[in-house]
């Protein structure tokens, strides 16, 4: 008998073509919007070459030059930048300004990379290098427009660089007195627009700190990031420093002892408390009656009491804990006169360990007295409604600088000024060669390069002359920002130069050849000139900019 059961009809499920098409269209639209946004930031929509390329270089370098020129020197103006997340940045630092502006043009990106490399190499001279590079590119573009081949411009620039480097080697001299070293570091601090009074105080502190570390560091090796801790706070203005470590931390309890002489220090990692009030954080164990719950709580107390007894038995006077600490342990330690700090940064604990010889341990380790660290003194001080712990450790290569700045938005500028001052001081102890600051060295080089250009034949002579013109952008920018007439200032410097005097532009907004002297580090000046020239030559050799599709 044949089966009467009919086979089930086959149902074919077709993909939703409309939904797939819509999803693809949305994806393409988002990609196109992103691509268009990037093209706007780059400023280029199609391949650029010839006269259009020259115009792009001239426009981009001119904008960067104008942007940094007004912020150059101790009298330079600040830039107030609001980034995409509405964070306000007030700065006159060249690298920071270039990083914050949202422009991806190849010429601007090249100048950004120049600023980063200068900052990484020596921590200073970024604006000098970028302003000089932008001026060299702009002057090279003028020559190219007048029929000079780009390779001829590059050859002339390299000849000028070799001669300028040779002249710098001849004109630099070693810093012989504290006043000359002080003038170099003060110029670096003032270059970020720091208040003169605070900058002078900071300069004295930086020189003492670097000189002391230079004596304590093995074989004269100095790592500013490892050997120096810097704190900036709103208040003051004032500068404190300590041979040891300053931490902006408060004791775990207000009733703890705050002063110790030659204390023993214990550093612990991880928490000293139970993270859950349950029998098991996984909730896989339960207390079936009240007696079991009380038993569990008593066991917790016994364990915590054991932790406290172990710390007390170690003989430590001060405990630094990276994690949180149970209040019951805090109470026991406070009764025994032991000072406790909790929830500390691991980086600070590593510095403290290095300075005091303390091993970073966990509570399960053997807390033997020989594994503890020692300090000469420890004091907790409250200042401007904030607690600070001063840990004095002599004859160890670690120092701390605490800077108080009245204006909150100036804290970043203070950080930049301290960084430049420390880098300049560290460079000075490696190489004490200095040159005239305040635009004096650049003006002298420009005058001697003009004489050198007369000895050349061919169109390279024009390139050397434009190189000299670019060097004069440095003293001109200093004069403008000091409120002087740039032409009058250049004429005064030229008159002093003709009399054989080392003239420069000082803080008073005058051209002076007598005290107070202004000096720059010769090593940073050389690096800035070499880096700027190489950057300009690489850009002038570009004949086309293409976008990758």
Give how far Cα 546 sits from Cα of 42, 44, 407, 492, Å.
11, 9, 46, 47
- Give the pLDDT confidence of 112-170 residue by residue, as tens digits: 888 888 888 887 888 999 999 999 999 999 999 999 999 999 999 999 999 999 999 99
Residue 237 lies in a domain: yes
d(CA 133, CA 319): 54
The two structure tokens encoding residue 411: 């804290």
Are 230 and 292 part of one and the same domain? Answer: no
Residue 192 lies in a domain: yes
Overall residue count recorded for the chain in this entry: 549
* DSSP sequence for 431-463: --EEEETTTHHHHHHHHHHHHHHTT--STHHHH
Domain boundaries, position 492: 436-522
CATH number of the domain encompassing residue 209: 3.30.260.10
**Domain end residue (candidates: 144, 168, 192):** 168
- Residue 285, SS3? coil
Starting at the edge strand found earlier in the chain, the sheet holding 228-234 runs 228-234, 399-405, 238-242
Residue 31 lies in a domain: no
Q: CA torsion sign, 472 to 473 to 475 to 479?
A: positive
d(CA 459, CA 481): 34
Are 285 and 366 part of one and the same domain? Answer: yes
d(CA 189, CA 284): 62
CATH number of the domain encompassing residue 500: 1.10.560.10
Residue 490 lies in a domain: yes
CA angle 16, 22, 28 (to 5 degrees): 135
Are 351 and 319 part of one and the same domain? Answer: yes
- 69-90: string of b/e by CB count within 10 Å (b at 16+)? bbbbbbbbebbebeeeeeeebb
pLDDT in tens, the chain (549 residues): 444 444 444 444 444 555 455 455 545 565 455 445 545 555 566 667 778 778 878 888 888 888 888 888 888 888 888 877 777 777 888 888 888 877 777 888 888 888 888 888 887 888 999 999 999 999 999 999 999 999 999 999 999 999 999 999 998 999 888 888 888 888 888 877 778 888 888 899 999 988 888 887 766 667 788 888 888 888 778 888 899 999 999 999 999 999 999 999 999 988 888 765 555 555 555 555 666 666 777 787 888 888 899 999 889 999 999 989 989 999 999 999 999 999 999 888 999 998 898 889 988 888 888 889 999 999 999 888 889 999 999 888 889 999 888 877 677 778 888 888 888 888 888 888 999 888 899 999 999 999 999 999 889 999 999 999 999 999 999 999 888 998 999 999 999 888 888 888 887 778 888 767 788 889 999 999 999 999 999 989 888 777 665
- Sequence-distant (6+) residues with CB within 8 A of 421 are 185, 188, 189, 202, 203, 206
- Sequence-distant (6+) residues with CB within 8 A of 257 are 337, 338, 339
Return the half-sphere exposure (C-beta side, CA atoms, 13 A cut-off) of residue 321. 26
CB 382 within 8 A of CB 390: no
**Domain end residue (candidates: 340, 367, 394):** 394
Are 157 and 61 part of one and the same domain? Answer: yes
- State if pTM tops 0.95: no
Alpha-helical (H) ranges within 47-195 are 51-69, 94-100, 106-122, 126-145, 150-171, 178-190
- Residue 134, SS3? helix
Are 451 and 357 part of one and the same domain? Answer: no
Query: Assign residue 495 a region: left if phi > 0, alpha if psi is -120 to 50, beta otherwise?
Result: alpha
Total number of domains constituting the chain? 4
Residue 41 lies in a domain: no
Q: Which residue has the tokens 């004859």?
A: 395
CB 42 within 8 A of CB 60: no
Are 149 and 280 part of one and the same domain? Answer: no
Are 52 and 127 part of one and the same domain? Answer: yes
**Domain end residue (candidates: 148, 168, 188):** 168
CA angle 119, 123, 126 (to 5 degrees): 50
Are 127 and 229 part of one and the same domain? Answer: no
Residue 229 lies in a domain: yes
CB 249 within 8 A of CB 387: yes
Are 390 and 279 part of one and the same domain? Answer: yes
Residue 90 lies in a domain: yes
CATH number of the domain encompassing residue 355: 3.50.7.10
Are 306 and 219 part of one and the same domain? Answer: no
Residue 82 lies in a domain: yes
Nearest to 69 by CA among 20, 135, 23: 135
Are 78 and 151 part of one and the same domain? Answer: yes
The two structure tokens encoding residue 98: 């270039």
Of the chain, the end-to-end C-alpha distance in Å amounts to: 71
Are 197 and 158 part of one and the same domain? Answer: no
């Amino acid at each position: 008998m044949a089966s009467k059961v009919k086979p089930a009809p086959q149902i074919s499920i077709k993909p939703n073509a409309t939904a797939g098409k819509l999803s693809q269209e949305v994806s393409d639209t988002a990609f196109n919007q992103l691509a268009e946004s990037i093209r706007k930031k780059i400023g280029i929509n199609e391949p650029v070459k010839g006269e259009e390329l020259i115009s792009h270089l001239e426009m981009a370098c001119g904008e960067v030059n104008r942007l940094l020129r007004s912020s150059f020197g101790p009298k330079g103006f600040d830039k107030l930048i609001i980034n995409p997340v509405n964070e306000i940045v007030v700065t006159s630092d060249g690298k920071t300004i270039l990083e914050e502006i949202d422009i991806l043009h190849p010429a601007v990106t090249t100048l950004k990379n120049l600023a980063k490399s200068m900052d990484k190499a020596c921590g200073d001279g970024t604006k000098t290098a970028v302003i000089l590079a932008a001026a060299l590119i702009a002057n090279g573009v003028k020559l190219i427009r007048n029929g000079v081949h780009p390779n001829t411009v590059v050859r002339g620039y390299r000849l000028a660089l070799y001669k300028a480097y040779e002249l710098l080697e001849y004109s630099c001299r070693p810093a012989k007195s504290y006043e000359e070293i002080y003038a170099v570091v003060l110029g670096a601090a003032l270059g970020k627009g720091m208040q003169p009074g605070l900058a002078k105080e900071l300069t004295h502190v930086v020189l003492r700190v670097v000189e002391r570390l230079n004596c304590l560091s093995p074989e004269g090796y100095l790592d500013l990031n490892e050997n120096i801790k810097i704190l900036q706070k709103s208040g003051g203005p004032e500068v404190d420093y300590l041979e040891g470590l300053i931490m902006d931390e408060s004791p775990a309890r207000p009733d703890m002892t705050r002063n110790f002489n030659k204390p023993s220090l214990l550093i612990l990692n991880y928490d000293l408390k139970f993270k859950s009030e349950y029998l098991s954080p996984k909730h896989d164990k339960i207390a079936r009656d009240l007696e079991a719950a009380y038993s569990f709580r008593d066991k917790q107390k016994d364990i915590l009491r054991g932790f406290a007894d172990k710390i007390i038995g170690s003989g430590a006077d001060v405990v630094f804990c990276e994690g949180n600490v149970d209040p019951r342990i805090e109470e026991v330690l406070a009764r025994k006169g032991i000072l406790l700090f909790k929830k500390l940064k691991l980086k600070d604990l590593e510095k403290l360990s290095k300075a005091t010889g303390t091993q970073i341990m966990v509570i399960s380790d053997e807390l033997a007295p020989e594994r503890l660290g020692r300090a000469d003194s420890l004091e907790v001080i409250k200042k401007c409604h904030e607690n600070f712990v001063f840990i004095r450790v002599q004859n160890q290569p670690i120092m701390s600088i605490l800077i108080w700045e009245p204006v909150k938005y100036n804290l970043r500028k203070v950080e930049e000024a301290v960084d430049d001052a420390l880098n300049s001081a560290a460079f000075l102890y490696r190489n004490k060669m200095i040159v005239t600051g305040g635009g004096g060295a650049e003006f002298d080089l420009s005058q001697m390069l003009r004489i050198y250009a007369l000895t050349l034949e061919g169109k390279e002579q024009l390139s050397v002359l434009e190189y000299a013109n670019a060097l004069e952008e440095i003293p001109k920018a200093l004069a403008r920002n000091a409120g002087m007439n740039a032409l009058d200032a250049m004429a005064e410097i030229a008159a002093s130069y003709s009399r054989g005097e080392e003239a420069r532009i000082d803080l008073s907004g005058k051209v002076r050849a007598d005290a107070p002297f202004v000096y720059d580090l010769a090593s940073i000046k050389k690096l800035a000139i070499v880096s700027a020239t190489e950057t300009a030559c690489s850009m002038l050799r570009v004949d086309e900019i293409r976008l990758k599709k």
